[in-house]
Each structure stands twice: as structure tokens, then as C-alpha cells.
Amino acid sequence: MTKQNVVVPEAMAISVAAVANSSPLFTYPPPRSGFGAGVAGGFALKINAWVESMKASSPTHAKAAAALAAAPSVGAQEEHATWIMRHPSALSKFEQIISASREKQIVMFLDYDGTLSPIVDDPDSAFMSEAMRDAVRNLARYFPTAIVSGRCRDKVYKFVKLAELYYAGSHGMDIKGPARGPRYRKAKAKSVLFQPASDFLPMITEVYNVLFEKTKSTPGAKVENNKFCVSVHYRCVDEKSWSVLAEQVKSVLKEYPKLRLTQGRKVLEIRPTIKWDKGKALEFLLESLGFADCNDVLPVYIGDDRTDEDAFKVLRDRGQGFGILVSKFPKETNASYSLREPSEVMDFLLRLVEWKRLSLKARPRVSIGI
């Protein structure tokens, strides 16, 4: 187990790799160390390690709740201070971010759960506030804005309800441009509708149905069909049943070698093995907006989950733009900056809008956005 995993309860479950006979249960992100690193010990050992990690990461677990409520130890404070130096608050470094955008078009990419909305027990109740919706609406007036989510595109649209945005659902495997005409496109931009995993649709539906039936016997388990991936939420499952749930998922997944399992915050996700993720979706959207191979663009991606790391890494590798991780705790990340929670994300978006509004006011002849 990495030091980071000790510090961050939510991250503990992520590096667990339980290995099925023919197809790996947790193939992505690749296990780094500790109980997720090896195959030796077999599935039972992996399941036990998984259960132990989940005890610490469950929001309903008494020990975890007590640990979060207690004052952080001196060691934890020092670790957090070191981490903040490496990933400073995007609010405290706002001017630095703005100065990097000089002569460039900022393009905003926003994860949904845990970024625009709080993480809640019932994934169907992860509503964003009206204030946040207003902030995102205003953001999209000044910058091309995309929502990039693991959820099904239709479902995340129902939460956000803003027709002027780009939406990349199912971890970027279902991308659609704004229903309301965008004004930011460059001349070479193209209209957007992209579904790289469309061949998998029948298989995903089948797996959803099988998993739905299979996990009925596990109280609290919630299976969600996200069109191009299936999510098994366990945040409401009693920890005594986690190993059973893992076995159930494993027994289904081993019949589908073309699917793989990944793990997010309190959720197992089954998705196609194609090489497509939120990072690829970011690149695709930049290209669709006409910003491929451009130096005059500054992509900013805000997200809270492991799956957002693919996008952070793309930005880091391109040496272009910034990733902003939403987290109260130190986590290993490719993001440049951090924000503690959705309320800080909203503050950051509001500042961005206000800065742009004032800068346009100061230069009234400059056209909006570009």
C-alpha cells in the first residue's frame, strides 16, 4: 500500500486488484503496489484485501467517520502541507492561471459527481445546486464548456440541464455537442457526435441485465446502465456483503473477456476494453472545437476521481493547460492544482467568469470567447 493510500481513505479501494481466472477484475488503473500489485495469494486474498480497504473508505463506516471528525495528526497536517505545495489551491493561484491564459482561449472540462455535485448515498440524487448551475451557465457564455462524466450522457444531461454545453458521457465514450449553437468554434471545427464503443451496446445491455439479477441478493447494491458502461454502486451495501458483491461481479465479468473492470469512488465500473477514456475524450473535444495542434488554447479540466487522472495526464503530457483535482485529502495526481470541494469549484468558476467579464468590458471591441 502506498503512503498516499494510508492518508486518503477514498483512495484505498482504488489500488485493489482482484484477479479473476481468465480476465482481470481490476485492470485499470494498473495496480501500483500492496495488495493490488500481485496475483499470488489468489482471489480470496484479493477479496479480503478489497474488503479491508473498503472498510476505511466507506462513508458510513464508524471508524472512518470518527477519523474524519477528529483533528488531523501533526503528521497528517505536515503531509497535507507538502501536498498543497505541490498542488496548490486553484483559488490561491488564480492570477497565475489567468496569466497563463493570456492570448489563449480557455476551454473548460468539468467532471460531474463530486465536482459539480456532492457525493451522496443515492447516485440518482446527486443533484447540483441552482447556484452551481448558474455558475456553469455563465461559464459557458464565455468559454466552451464540456461535462465529462462516467454517467450515461442522457442522465448527466438531466442533472445539468444546460443545452449550451458539450457532454461526454460513459467516460467519454458518448460525446455530443451543444444542442444550442456554440459560438466558440473555429472555422475548422466540426459538429460533434462520437460513440467509439457503439459495437458494445448490446453486450453492455446484456451485462447490465445479468448483473442486475445477480446482485439483487446483495442489499443496497445498485446497478446502473450508463449505456457504454455498467456501474455497480456499493456505497449503500453493508460492508459484510462487499466480498459477496465482488464475487458476484467477478462471476459475471469472467464471461465477458471484452469487458474490463475499473473502480471509482464507491463504484465498480464495467466497460469495453477499447482504449478510450476521459483523456481521449478531452483530446477529441479539443480537436472538434478546432484546437488540435494549436498553441492558442488553454484547456482546464476539473475532476475528483481516478478516471479524471487520464485527462490530467493528457494535459500534463501536452504541456498545455491545467488539471485541477477536487479533494480534501492528499492524493497522488497528475493535476497541477487542487480545490477542496464543489463549493470551491463554484467559487473558481465564478471568479473565472468575473475576470472574463471585466476583461471584455475593458476591451469592448474584442469578440467574446476567442
Nearer to Mg ion, 167 or 256 (CB): 167
* Distance from C-alpha of 72 to C-alpha of 77, rounded to nearest angstrom: 6
- CA 183 vs CA 37, 131, 176: distances in Å: 48, 24, 16
* Distance from C-alpha of 282 to C-alpha of 291, rounded to nearest angstrom: 11
CB of 307 to Mg ion, least distance (A): 7
Among 113, 310, 332, 344, binds Mg ion (CB under 5 A): 113
Among 337, 276, 261, 274, CA closest to 304: 337
In the beta sheet, which residues pair with residue 24?
A: 19
CA angle (136, 363, 182) in 5-degree steps: 35
CB of 308 to Mg ion, least distance (A): 7
Residues between 174 and 233 with contacts to Mg ion, criterion CB under 5 A: none
Nearer to Mg ion, 305 or 310 (CB): 305
Look at residue 148 and give its three-state secondary structure: strand
Q: Is the N-terminal amide bond of 29 cis, ω within 30° of 0?
A: yes
CB of 112 to Mg ion, least distance (A): 6
Among 176, 179, 189, 266, CA closest to 228: 176
Check 111, 113, 277, 305 and give the catalytic one.
111
Nearer to Mg ion, 49 or 139 (CB): 139
CB of 366 to Mg ion, least distance (A): 34
Q: Indicate the helix (H) or strand (E) that contains 297.
A: strand 297-303
Nearer to Mg ion, 47 or 335 (CB): 335
When asked if residue 304 is in the footprint of Mg ion (CB under 5 A), the reply is: yes
Choose the binding region for Mg ion from 137-145, 151-159, 302-310, 350-358 (rule: CB under 5 A): 302-310
Nearer to Mg ion, 112 or 322 (CB): 112
Among 79, 111, 174, 344, binds Mg ion (CB under 5 A): 111
Choose the binding region for Mg ion from 12-20, 53-61, 107-115, 272-280 (rule: CB under 5 A): 107-115
CB of 159 to Mg ion, least distance (A): 12
Kindly determine how many residues on this chain lie close enough to bind Mg ion according to the rule CB under 5 A: 5
Decide if 134 is catalytic. no
When asked if residue 114 is in the footprint of Mg ion (CB under 5 A), the reply is: yes
Residues between 305 and 344 with contacts to Mg ion, criterion CB under 5 A: 305
Nearer to Mg ion, 51 or 135 (CB): 135
Terminal alpha carbon distance of the chain: 46
Choose the binding region for Mg ion from 164-172, 240-248, 296-304, 356-364 (rule: CB under 5 A): 296-304
Look at residue 109 and give its three-state secondary structure: strand
* Distance from C-alpha of 29 to C-alpha of 345, rounded to nearest angstrom: 25
Look at residue 193 and give its three-state secondary structure: strand
CB of 195 to Mg ion, least distance (A): 21
When asked if residue 10 is in the footprint of Mg ion (CB under 5 A), the reply is: no
Is there a contact between 265 and 114 (Cβ–Cβ < 8 Å)?
yes
Nearer to Mg ion, 210 or 324 (CB): 324
Is there a contact between 239 and 58 (Cβ–Cβ < 8 Å)?
yes
When asked if residue 269 is in the footprint of Mg ion (CB under 5 A), the reply is: no
Choose the binding region for Mg ion from 110-118, 232-240, 283-291, 331-339 (rule: CB under 5 A): 110-118
CB of 295 to Mg ion, least distance (A): 30
Place of cell 451522496: 120
H helices present in the chain, as ranges: 3-7, 9-12, 42-57, 62-69, 74-86, 94-100, 130-142, 153-160, 201-214, 242-253, 278-288, 309-318, 342-362
Q: Give every CB contact of residue 343 below 8 A, 6+ residues apart in sequence.
A: none
Choose the binding region for Mg ion from 114-122, 159-167, 330-338, 350-358 (rule: CB under 5 A): 114-122
Binding-site ranges for Mg ion (CB under 5 A): 111, 113-114, 304-305
Active site residues: 111
